[in-house]
Amino acid sequence: MNQITLIAAAAENNALGKDNDLLWHLPDDFKRFKSLTTGHKIIMGRKTFESFPKPLPNRTHIVITRDSNYKIDFESCEVVHSLEAALKLVKNDRLSFIIGGGEIYAQGEPFANKIELTRVHTTFEDADTFFPEIDPTIWKLETEEHHPADERHSYAFTYMTYARK
């Protein structure tokens, strides 16, 4: 079975970022993201891709853009022009991830069968990108693991895994 997982870190008000950057620095969440996505294809919008200093190692990047002239000079990257085209590239994979941004999450949610959400326990009113609302009639919370704020993490957060009902 082909599993499509949305993976994100979002504040209590679903804020994801501002000005193409994250609103927090959570090293343990970065480690979790790396361990879950390494070795898999990751689907993202162009702005999300451009927020990285370079492609993430050991992952195939599928970058969605409306710009038909957009090129990426890295072997680990493919450019497509729609979510449907991106999904075709992962249809034979056991597991792939949609990693953002807000518009791509919203488009991808109907195709996903799992959500790996890091809920950051704060709100950001000035964010400009948001994760879609999780509808409890569609999604069931399977597991959650709380992580308190500490000297390396300014905010407490909870890893939450949802499965489509």
User: What's the 3-state SS for 39-91?
Assistant: CCEEEEEHHHHHCCCCCCCCCEEEEECCCCCCCCCCCCEEEECCHHHHHHHHC
CB within 8 A of 84, min separation 6: which ones? none
Residue recorded with tokens 């038909």:
68
Q: How far apart are CA 55 and CA 13, in angstroms?
A: 29
pLDDT at 1: 73
What's the pLDDT tens digit per position in 108-134?
Answer: 999 999 999 999 999 999 999 999 999
Sign of CA dihedral 64, 116, 52, 120: positive
Tell me the mean pLDDT in the region 23-52: 97
Tell me the mean pLDDT in the region 1-26: 95
pLDDT at 116: 98
Backbone angles phi, psi at 49, to 5 degrees: -60, -45
Q: What is 3-164's CATH topology? A: Dihydrofolate Reductase, subunit A (3.40.430)
Q: How far apart are CA 108 and CA 93, in angstroms?
A: 16
Please say whether the beta carbons of 21 and 132 come within 8 A: no
pLDDT at 69: 96
Tell me the mean pLDDT in the region 1-30: 96
From the centroid of its chain, how far is CA 84? 17
Please say whether the beta carbons of 10 and 96 come within 8 A: no
Please say whether the beta carbons of 81 and 97 come within 8 A: no
